[in-house]
Structure 1
């Protein structure tokens, strides 16, 4: 064989190896780019999920804190109403004792005043009942409209 032919074969083999090495390196770079894109997408998805979880937790904790604040205020209002009711009960008992020995005119005047007060309380109670019914209807609407997960039956 001639040296030219050997040189040609060696050159062809070297060119083929070089081309194969270049293609291998290029494919490895493409795979690395795809893996990097996938890792970036996964990291972005994790970050987004974590941000959504934080937002939900923040809203949840805010709602719980607001509910605790409302509960404390309602407890104070109930205690205040109970104290006022006790005061009125004592005042009513005292008035009943004094009415037992009061003249007829004073008893009639007291009865008229109590009737007027009773009528006013009845109107207020009806207004309160209407508001309570409205709130109950709102709660029922929220419960019925709340999204539900489909049941697996």
Structure 2
């Protein structure tokens, strides 16, 4: 599998995530942690809390359609894994998010920006585990 190097798209995406995180903190006083936002939709604290979370998720899901409106084509997304592997991976991510008290967006974007020691440790763990996983899958298992 070849990984495409897309510096402009990656920079734009990162800037938009950063902007969303800053705006959510400024307007709502909340941390942009995607799994925490989803958890708050599934188990809302109040109707008022539920509405902004649904709007945030709606914005995440409509991103490809905004890309279509701007570029005239949907993003090319390739998932080189079978559905059972995706389900197992999602389950493992859910366990990791629970054990780590947050996800990559909460810790990696917002926590590091707030100089949280816990977020530095969590993000280092995410990155090391990701690098090790890619190495094992690509170089040891040959997938």
Q: TM class by shorter-chain length? A: under 0.3
TM-score (normalised: structure 2): 0.26
Whichever structure has more helix as a proportion of its residues is: 1
Structure ranking higher on relative contact order (CA contacts 8 Å, 6+ apart): 2
